[in-house]
């Protein structure tokens, strides 16, 4: 599974709620609302896993997005199993 990250105060670069994913030398940003790739790329299998994880955890991700852009600590979200 890819490493998934949210960066504090990171609402300027893409101007929409998103997460960053890293897998080996690959990096991509994914929109939380629809799972679309905003920038970069991952291998197809990892892209599908990240998009499935976003779909499952969309509400928690949006709640964390509101916290992280204000510099507040986020809540842990379970990994895709």
Percent of the chain with pLDDT over 90: 64
Q: Do 54 and 39 form a contact (C-beta atoms < 8 A)? A: no
Task: Count other Cβ atoms within 10 Å, centred on residue 46.
Answer: 18
What does the pLDDT read at residue 30? 94
Of 7-11, 55-59, 60-64, 75-79, the one with minimum mean pLDDT is: 7-11
pLDDT at 25 over 70: yes
Dihedral (CA of 14, 19, 20, 23) sign:
negative
């Amino acid at each position: 599974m890819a490493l998934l990250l949210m960066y504090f105060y990171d609402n300027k670069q893409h101007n929409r709620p998103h997460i960053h994913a890293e897998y080996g030398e690959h990096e991509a940003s994914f929109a939380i609302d629809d799972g679309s790739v905003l920038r970069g790329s991952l291998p197809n299998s990892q892209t599908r896993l990240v998009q499935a994880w976003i779909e499952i955890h969309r509400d928690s991700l949006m709640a964390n997005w509101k916290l992280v852009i204000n510099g507040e600590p986020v809540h842990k979200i379970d990994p895709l199993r």
